[in-house]
Amino acid sequence: MKILNLNEGSFPINFSIKLETIDVPNIGKLQKDLLIEAEIQKISKDLYRCAGHMKGDFKDTCQNCLKDTEVEISNDINVTIKDLTEIHHDSSEQDQTHYQDLEYFDLHRFIREELAIIYPDIVKCSENCLEREISRGKEKNLPFKKIRDLIE
């Protein structure tokens, strides 16, 4: 676990992390290393910005046909970081804001939360997986097809 004190030190803070395992609920299993390259910049006294990139391959289950499916994550990180004490007093309308204790900033917690946001909500083995299942279902719903074929 990597803990940073964002209230002290020199900026920008550049980091490159390679994780072999990661424990995030409701996502697939990491197949290859998760690579994170990012930079934390100090904008003002209690305002920071993290920009970078996250990439990794996961194995998950298709939510339609239940096949093992490879999910590739490759996404940019662009997040504002603020102290946890400001969470209820923050009046800004920013979507991507991460709140954490700036004196004991847990880098791995930040990565887990970003991965949970980036990971797709719906995992499908292919774009037309649902359509294939529907067309198969239509063929099965013809109970008198053989009789009709014999009459014709």
- What does the pLDDT profile of the chain (152 residues) look like in tens digits? 578 888 887 889 899 999 999 888 888 899 989 999 999 999 888 889 999 999 999 999 998 888 899 999 999 999 999 888 877 776 666 668 888 888 898 999 999 999 999 999 888 888 887 665 445 545 556 667 777 777 76
Closest CA to 75 of 102, 52, 91: 52
Predicted pLDDT of residue 140:
58
The values of phi and psi at residue 13, to 5°, are -105, 115
Model's pTM, two decimal places?
Answer: 0.75
Q: From CA 118, how far away is CA 96, in angstroms rounded?
A: 12
Predicted pLDDT of residue 94:
63
